[in-house]
Amino acid sequence: MAFVSFRTLYRQLWRQFWKMGETHVNFLGGSPLNRLSWLRQSPAFLNAVAASPAARWLVYQGGQPLLSTQPDGRTRGLASFTTNDIRPVLGSDPLFGQGRSEGETAAVDTPVLEAARLRGAPIVFLGLHEPEESKSGALPSAEFSAKGAAEAAVANIEGTPYFTVDVTDVDADKVKDLLSGSEAAQRGEKLEFSEPRAAMGSMDMFQAALFAEARSMVDWNGRNKFCPACGSPVYSLWAGWKLSCSSLLPWADNAGKKPCPSAKGLHNFAHPRTDAVVIMAVVDESGDKILLGRNKKFPDKFYSTLAGFIEPGESFEDAVKREIWEEAGVKVWNVKYHSIQPWPYPANLMVGFYAFADPSSPIRVDLDNELEDARWFTRAQILEVLSHPDGANFSRKDYRRMADIQEKQSNLENTQQQGAAALAHSDPSIQQNKAKQQEIEKEVRQGNAPPIKVPPRTAIAGVLISDWAHGRLPGVSPSAKGNL
Q: How confident is the model over 374-387, as a mean pLDDT?
A: 94
Q: What percent of the chain has pLDDT over 90?
A: 64
String of DSSP letters for 331-391: --EEEEEEEEEEETTTTEEEEEEEEE--TTS---SSS-TTEEEEEEEEHHHHHHHHHSTTT
Q: How confident is the model over 14-24, as a mean pLDDT?
A: 53
458 or 163: which carries more pLDDT confidence?
163
Residue 477 inside a domain? The answer is no
Span 44-96, pLDDT tens digits? 999 999 999 999 999 999 999 999 999 988 789 999 999 999 999 999 999 99
Residue 143 inside a domain? The answer is yes
Give the H/E segment covering residue 208.
helix 205-223
Most confident of 215-219, 401-405, 419-423: 215-219
Q: Are residues 288 and 345 in the same domain?
A: yes
Q: Are residues 179 and 50 in the same domain?
A: yes
Q: Are residues 210 and 301 in the same domain?
A: no
Q: Are residues 91 and 237 in the same domain?
A: yes
Preceding omega of 455 cis (within 30 degrees of 0): no
CATH number for the domain that contains residue 298? 3.90.79.10
Residue 424 inside a domain? The answer is no
pLDDT higher than threshold 60 for residue 388:
yes
pLDDT higher than threshold 80 for residue 136:
no
Lowest model confidence (mean pLDDT) among 206-215, 315-324, 327-336, 377-386:
327-336
pLDDT higher than threshold 80 for residue 141:
no
The chain-wide mean pLDDT, for the chain, equals 85
Amino acid 155: pLDDT:
78
Q: What percent of the chain has pLDDT over 70?
A: 78
Identify the band that residue 3 occupies on the pLDDT scale cut at 50, 70 and 90.
very low
The predicted model scores a pTM of 0.85
pLDDT higher than threshold 60 for residue 294:
yes
pLDDT higher than threshold 90 for residue 411:
no
Q: Are residues 82 and 177 in the same domain?
A: yes
Amino acid 83: pLDDT:
97
155 or 209: which carries more pLDDT confidence?
209
107 or 153: which carries more pLDDT confidence?
107
Residue 480 inside a domain? The answer is no
Structural domains in the chain (count): 2
Beta strands 333-343; 348-356: pairing state: antiparallel
Q: Are residues 246 and 374 in the same domain?
A: no
Identify the band that residue 143 occupies on the pLDDT scale cut at 50, 70 and 90.
low
Q: How confident is the model over 143-165, as a mean pLDDT?
A: 78
Identify the band that residue 11 occupies on the pLDDT scale cut at 50, 70 and 90.
low
Residue 478 inside a domain? The answer is no
Longest Cα–Cα distance of the chain, Å, equals 77
Residue 301 inside a domain? The answer is yes
Residue 411 inside a domain? The answer is no
Between CA 464 and CA 455 the distance in angstroms is: 10
Residue 117 inside a domain? The answer is yes
pLDDT higher than threshold 50 for residue 434:
no
Most confident of 145-154, 247-256, 266-275, 473-482: 247-256
Q: Are 7 and 13 in contact (CB under 8 A)?
A: no
Amino acid 147: pLDDT:
60
Q: Are residues 152 and 285 in the same domain?
A: no
Note down the domain range covering 340. Answer: 275-402+447-470
Q: Are residues 279 and 246 in the same domain?
A: no
String of DSSP letters for 2-54: ----HHHHHHHHHHHHHHHTPPPPPTT-S---B--GGGTT-HHHHHHHHTSTT
pLDDT higher than threshold 70 for residue 21:
no
396 or 250: which carries more pLDDT confidence?
250
Amino acid 299: pLDDT:
78
Range list of H helices, 88-180: 150-156, 172-180
Q: Are residues 286 and 190 in the same domain?
A: no
pLDDT higher than threshold 50 for residue 426:
no
CA distances in angstroms from 62 to 81, 215, 236, 299, listed in the order given? 18, 10, 18, 24
Q: Are residues 55 and 158 in the same domain?
A: yes
Phi and psi for 396 in degrees, rounded to 5?
A: -65, -35
Of 216, 250, 284, the residue at which a domain comes to its end is: 250
Q: Are residues 316 and 465 in the same domain?
A: yes
Identify the band that residue 329 occupies on the pLDDT scale cut at 50, 70 and 90.
confident
Q: Are residues 92 and 220 in the same domain?
A: yes
Identify the band that residue 445 occupies on the pLDDT scale cut at 50, 70 and 90.
low
Span 188-197, pLDDT tens digits? 999 999 999 8
Lowest model confidence (mean pLDDT) among 101-110, 260-269, 330-339, 366-375:
366-375
